[in-house]
Structure 1
């Protein structure tokens, strides 16, 4: 790290570092033990979002920054696997509310535990202050990305 970078050089270096993290994430994903046979990794953001609170498909799509048709396919797959359930929305009977099931909740908890164990191995030589700083910076980045995506969302599928 150097203080002599221009703002543009810093952004370019950050983009390269994030690309490396994403690439590493794909590699780590392929080394992770399967949690539920037939579970598409693409459905995980939907499962994690519903785990936070029950929602309509359109609200899940907005939270995951995906289109409604893709989200609906993931909800159908998660329903078939018994990880979420669908019930008519009390406010609008044309819509459905998606809720995590006990099996879905257990799957999320297992995934979180496995991820924590994996990152404990990867970051075993980091001190607590560095872990805390990285966590804070990543949480801030996620908030900024979410804000950007909300503000720049197209009307397609939303």
Structure 2
């Protein structure tokens, strides 16, 4: 809620979105840290729910560079949350899979959003608008 003298009701939508994103990100980072995760690590654990994948495929889906994904995977592997396994179809290639520990942390993280963020009356409408913004912005960038 804004107070009449805050002036936020006069802010442009971009500034509102940017401010909300920063505040949400700070709360999200703190909640993930309590599980020993980063946002990037959570994304990887989520993507691996569909099964083993290559580092290149994970990077593409997460929309990050392969080197960035490599650093994230290194950290998750040190924590025992993912494992790199040799691809049975191509011995030169490795696949990344979620470990049992990684699955456990992923399950804990799934409830964080409800714990961290306030319930919204029009959450579905907000979600649709955010997806529209992301899709339009991604088309120009990726």
Give the TM bin, normalised by the shorter chain.
Answer: 0.7 to 0.9
Distance in 2 between residues matched to 1:145 and 1:102, nearest whole Å: 36
- Call closer, same or farther: CA 1:98–1:31 in 2, change over 3 Å: closer
Do 2:73 and 2:82's aligned partners in 1 also have CA atoms closer than 8 Å?
Answer: yes
Distance in 1 between residues matched to 2:134 and 2:38, nearest whole Å: 23
Q: Secondary structure at the match of 2:35?
A: coil
Unpaired stretches in structure 2, ≥5 consecutive residues: 1-10
- Call closer, same or farther: CA 1:30–1:67 in 2, change over 3 Å: closer
> In the alignment, which residue of structure 1 is the partner of 2:125?
133
Unpaired stretches in structure 1, ≥5 consecutive residues: 1-11, 153-158
Find out whether 1:95 has 2:93 as its counterpart.
yes
State the TM-score, normalizing by the size of structure 1.
0.69
> In the alignment, which residue of structure 2 is the partner of 1:77?
75
* Per-residue deviation, 1:109: 1.6
Within a 5 Å distance, the mapping from 1:112-151 to structure 2 comes to 112-119=110-117, 122-123=118-119, 126-127=120-121, 130-149=122-141
Aligned-residue RMSD, C-alpha: 2.4
Within a 5 Å distance, the mapping from 1:147-158 to structure 2 comes to 147-149=139-141, 152=142
Do 2:28 and 2:116's aligned partners in 1 also have CA atoms closer than 8 Å?
Answer: no
Q: Which moved more, 1:47-56 or 1:101-110?
A: 47-56
Distance in 1 between residues matched to 2:57 and 2:68, nearest whole Å: 13
State the TM-score, normalizing by the size of structure 2.
0.76
